[in-house]
Amino acid sequence: MMIDVEDLIALVRNYNPRCNADLIRQAYAYGTKMHEGQFRKSGEPYFTHPVAVAAILTEQHLDDATIITALLHDTIEDTKSTYTEVERLFGHEVAELVDGVTKLTNLQLSSTHSQQAENFRKLFMAMSKDLRVILVKLADRLHNMRTIKSMKVEKQAQKARETMEIFAPLAGRMGMQWMREELEDLAFKVLNPEARASIIRRFLMLQREAGDVIHKITADIRTELEKVQVDAAVYGRAKKPYSIWRKMQEKDLAFSRLSDIYGFRVICGSVADCYTILGVIHQRWRAVPGRFKDYISQPKSNGYRSIHATVSGRDGKRVEVQIRTQEMHEVAEAGVAAHWSYREGVRAKNPFAVDPAKWIAQLTERFDEGDHDEFLENVKLEMYSDQVFCFTPKGDVVQLPRGATPLDFAYAIHTRIGNSTVSAKVDGIRVPLWTRLKNGQSVEIITAEGQRPQASWVDIVTTGRAKAAIRRSLREEDKGRFIRLGQELARAAFEHVGKKATDKALRTAARMLGQPDETELLARLGSAELTARKVVETLYPELSQKVVDEVDAARPVLGLPDDQTVRRAPCCQPLPGERIVGITYRGQGVVVHAIDCPALEEFEEQPNRWIDLHWHAGRHKAVNTVGLELTISNDAGVLGRICTLIGEQKANISDLKFTERKPDFYRLLVDVDLRDVEHLHMVMTALEAETDVAQVSRHRDLARRP
């Protein structure tokens, strides 16, 4: 059912009594007339959609121009209306906004990889002119996702993927968390309805067993606040099914082991109250170590401020509590859109609202250079990242995505400093360049004349800026060597499928892969930014199954001279696919350790023994032994079934010994020969699914250190 024009105006007047009601009426009448005779897939008149989009934007208390743009956003695209006519009737500002939304609608964001990158660039250019364009587009996408059932099944899947990959993270990056969550959940409903239904079922079961946990915990928090006479509103909610599912995937946990499926929000009057409330909550419940974030003293780049504290609540269940003031809450709900919000008839002067021009400049400043792929990588890294704040020795703040390293820090200061980095100190202690930085750390970068970026750095850094700068430097320095190496790789890969790597074939592949010419294609092959397999697959998809880059088991890692002997550390048993480091041992050559191996602690003061290594790309042979610790039922045939399961995953058992025998269970160690970390995951998943396996874990034995 379509919202009546007077009802729409009433929605706007709720927050902006001085709105231009006549212009809204005029836009409503114009849209009705232009879309006359057009219908949605559901059979409703088409104009119900623009009106619904406008209504969504009133919830964010947006200005007249944005509401009118929503009503007209499809007129230039789908009717006989023109830019000139919209400008004459509704002014230059509205015409520009409608034109911006029209251009966004025409972008095929889920198209081929290189097109997608170019379209992403256009999306960000349109946003940088006026961010309200994307606010209308997000509301447009939200209404389309809410009514997606009337679309064809394949169209539903395409729209849902695009929403999950682009629009949901973009809404999150802009600080509109509620919209991100709803978009993700609507897309999840289309892409994986069984998983979503399963989570909802389990959730209802949990509620039946535990009762109304939300009501109990909010009552507990209110009682504690009353004791110290702090006036605050307390809200609780269950997290969205997609949010729960993502956490299950990330942490590899079963639903029953998930802790923070409930979220609580405390909204108070002042910053001082925020910290008082934090103290009250930490006195009443036990804080969970490592799960505290203070975005009040270090706000996110989109203006978001809050304190996040996770505590062990009733029955040891973890709950996350967000504490913020009313003004912070408005920014948390509207994000960057808070800049245009009205409150009581005037543009809200919210001190926490971020300046959209500065925000978009920050997001796009590094996207002017480099090629399409790098641009796409940069955008996605920027959009998905959470933040850490580190300090220079002078006390200046450097903002980086979570997971960033001292190398990212160096490149964030200046490309020249990044390129000449030799080592780093964090809080005064020398650390390896791949160390993950934490909030509040002080970082000092040590540089040297003549130092150049190394190929392994690309895997160490996480920011788009650093990756682009390292690749550019490597390309310039080693282009000749890379081209020669690329020619050899291409020749071997083409011969493997009975073809020749002619100039014409390489030129065609370069065009199809978005490269300027065959020379650049070969340089990228040689620098390992492109695989020869990808080139052959692009030209001859029907032959691509034959292309398997088998890795020589005797030389599984990159970063060592050919004559250097290398072996896997028996303590951590690293696998291809895991981050690794080499340690030199006298008389033993180089031993490869997993980056998180506790045995590395003893070498912290001996940086000269550390070597940057990474695994060869390609298919590794199943020769990497890993120990698995299993607890199984003591029943006839169980051990046989488990050995069969491991065999079915194409993994060989090289040793097996019992460590504990009890009347009802056995504990045993099984040595399995595997290809890589993915192969390990397949074996462990198969074992976990077996009902007679109570527990399975990877066995690491520090006593076996080299």
- Alpha helix (H) residue ranges in 500-598: 503-512, 518-526, 532-539
Provide CB contacts within 8 A for 130, sequence distance 6+.
Answer: 96, 97, 100
Q: Are strands 397-401 and 421-426 parallel, antiparallel or unpaired?
A: unpaired
C-alpha span between 232 and 282 (Å, rounded): 17
Tokens encoding 89: 């009737």
Query: Strand pairing partners for 81?
Result: none
Of 343, 337, 483, 465, the C-alpha closest to 412 is 465
Show the tokens assigned to 668.
Answer: 């045993």
H or E element at residue 343? strand 342-343
| d(C-alpha 551, C-alpha 637), whole Å | 37
Per-residue DSSP letters for 544-563?
GGG---BPPTTS-EESS-TT
| Token duo for residue 248 | 């299950």
Check: CB of residue 550 under 8 Å from CB of residue 556. no
DSSP 3-state of 466: helix
Ranges assigned E (strand) in 541-699: 557-558, 566-568, 580-585, 589-594, 610-612, 614-615, 624-633, 652-661, 665-674, 693-699
Name residue, tokens 């997971």.
403
Start-to-end Cα distance in the chain = 72
- 622 touches 673 (CB < 8 A): yes
Rounded-to-integer distance, Cα 63 and Cα 15, Å: 10
Quickly count: other Cβ atoms within 10 Å of residue 680's Cβ. 23
Measuring CA to CA, which residue among 106, 81, 105 is closest to residue 31? 81
Place of tokens 């999840």: 188
String of DSSP letters for 385-452: --EEEEE-TT--EEEEETT--HHHHHHHH-HHHHHTEEEEEETTEEE-TTPPP-TT-BEEEEE-TT--
Calpha distance 410→444 (Å, rounded)? 9
The distance of Cα 199 from the centroid of its chain, to the nearest Å, equals 22
Rounded Cα distance between 330 and 341, Å, is: 9
Cα–Cα distance, 105 to 655 (Å, whole number): 60
Catalytic residues: 77-78
Q: Report whether 569 contacts 599 (CB < 8 A).
A: yes
- What is the CA 518 to chain-centroid distance, rounded? 33
| Residue whose token pair is 């200005």 | 63
**Ordered strands of the 610-612 beta sheet:** 566-568, 589-594, 580-585, 610-612
Token look-up 């509040």 returns 440
For residues 26 and 46, the answer to whether their CB atoms sit within 8 Å is no
Residue 465: CB atoms within 10 Å: 23
Burial 346-374 (b: 16+ CB within 10 A, else e): eebebebbbebeebbeebbebbeebbbbb
CA–CA distance, 575 with 560 (Å, rounded to integer): 17
